[in-house]
Structure 1
Amino acid sequence: MSALVAELHRRQRALAWAGWVALGCLLLSLAAMAVDSRQIYGVSVWTKPAKFAASFIPWFWTLAWAWGVLAPAARRGALAGLVLWGTLAAALFEQGWISFRAAAGLPSHFAGDPLGQVMFTLMGIGATVLVALAGLLGLLVLARGDAAQPRPWRLAVGLGLLVAGVLGGVTGFAMGNAGSPLVGGSGMPGFPPFFWSRDGGDLRVAHFLAIHAMQAVPGFWLLTRAGAWPVGLVAMGWTGVSVAALWLAQAGVPLSP
């Protein structure tokens, strides 16, 4: 494990440390849940900060690992710098505002107050920046990957990031345009840790599947060491499943047990 952590920091130190900061935010949010009984929409006010911090941990560490798949010159280029600092800035804004609103006992998403509505729009921009930069890193890996590493591996990392970037944006826009992640149903939260709806459509399921393409597609190659064609088929299949989940959620079909 120590060798894995050391390799992660060697590949991209700032993103590796950002993952540890997100882990700290998660632990603090969980501790706050234990002592703060306030709720929003039937769940703890600290659920949203905890969920975002938990999602940022694999996000940062996946990007840090993917950094090592870039050609050395590409890692030092302007586009890579844009991905790095844009990701850190957008994530800091998102996590900071969500945590601030939780401390105030107010919703950060789909808020009713004027400031909350303005900030929710800005959060949408921030989320778009995050997924767009992940997709850009995927394109960089595909175009300027390290030639010393296996081509199917570079393809898996690049396609995983690209699918996550594109579909993460599509599913995120679907939630924003709908004015709610829920379609039909009672609106009561389902089981932890995700609290997805059990009696109506929930667009968060499709969003979850979309953004985790960045782990699923490379994970397939790590498990199988398959060639380029199977990697491409898995990326297409993951895309199809994510789109199907979006369509079913928009139709009001519950996808959570």
Structure 2
Amino acid sequence: MAAILVLCLVAMPFDAREIRGVSVWVKPAKFAASLAVWCWTMAWAWTALGRAWRAGRAARVIVAGTIVCGGFEVGWIALRAAVGLPSHFAMDALGAAVYGVMGLAAVLLCLCAAAFGALVAWRGDPTRHRVMRLGIAAGFVGAGLLGIFTGLAIGGGTGPYVGGEASDAGAWPPFFWSRSGGDLRVAHFLAVHAMQALPLLAWGLLRAGAAAPRAWLAAGAAGWVGLTLGAFALARAGVAL
């Protein structure tokens, strides 16, 4: 994923083609960056699993599913960018057919994240602090379930835009979220990055020696869900970030 990100960034200055007002390489760059962080986070969190479970069948399925689904998503997005065609909401027959497969792959990718979080909660390493295990579990389960919810809301329509121009032109890099209307991608971003936010919160609480860290972690998880749903509601109402 990091290699694809670098290739996209190198290609941008030399390729003037655009899709929805921005470089054709913006979308594969964003997805590659997101999946690079996603996979790094899962690798970092892997030791939160009990030792006997790290190489078990469930763990192997989660790893294989993450690699296959993530690799397919970013690979197809990059390939479409190379030929100057959109990967999402494509109008040509092949693009439209594969877009449906992409939706399934995205759901499976999020389910892998949620399954990993559930496995950490169920079979976590007892030598790791319970609050840290709970932060990892909540982060991955939240990212998976909220990611599916917000992703289906985007994929089930005609695009992420609500009440504004269907273009990324003039928006702030690197995200290029709409400045003229609601954009469901904001909520989706918050959703999937719960897997970093909540483990980081757990680490910070332990580092600071906070009293009742589990209660603070629960409050933080509820707050992140509320923030995600709030961003979703604003986007559906056509309110720009």
Q: With structure 1 as the length reference, what TM-score do the two structures score?
A: 0.89
Q: Distance in 2 between matches of 1:175 and 1:39?
A: 21
Q: Distance in 2 between matches of 1:26 and 1:109?
A: 18
Partner SS for 1:149: coil
Q: Distance in 2 between matches of 1:124 and 1:62?
A: 23
2:110 to 131, 136, 157: 131
Q: CA deviation at 1:224?
A: 2.2
2:185 to 204, 221, 224: 204
Partner SS for 1:152: helix
**Residue in structure 2 matched with residue 221 of structure 1 by the alignment:** 202
**Residue in structure 2 matched with residue 239 of structure 1 by the alignment:** 225
Q: Distance in 1 between matches of 2:187 and 2:87?
A: 21
**Aligned: 1:193 with 2:174:** yes
Q: Distance in 2 between matches of 1:181 and 1:58?
A: 22
What's the RMSD between the two structures over aligned residues? Answer: 0.8
2:56 to 77, 83, 86: 77
Q: How many residues align?
A: 234
Corresponding letter in the other structure for 1:224: L
Corresponding letter in the other structure for 1:213: A
**Residue in structure 1 matched with residue 144 of structure 2 by the alignment:** 165
**Aligned: 1:142 with 2:121:** yes
Q: Distance in 1 between matches of 2:167 and 2:82?
A: 23
Structure 2 unpaired stretches of 5+: none
Q: Which moved more, 1:146-155 or 1:185-194?
A: 185-194
Q: With structure 2 as the length reference, what TM-score do the two structures score?
A: 0.95
Q: Distance in 2 between matches of 1:231 and 1:156?
A: 7
Q: Distance in 2 between matches of 1:228 and 1:140?
A: 19
Once the two structures are superposed, what CA deviation does each residue of 1:186-208 show, in whole Å capped at 9, x if it has no partner?
23321111110011010000000
Larger relative contact order (CA 8 Å, sep ≥ 6): 2
Q: CA deviation at 1:55?
A: 0.4
Once the two structures are superposed, what CA deviation does each residue of 1:38-60 show, in whole Å capped at 9, x if it has no partner?
11111001111101111011100
Corresponding letter in the other structure for 2:219: L
**Aligned: 1:30 with 2:9:** yes
Q: Distance in 2 between matches of 1:30 and 1:148?
A: 41
Q: Distance in 1 between matches of 2:84 and 2:226?
A: 38
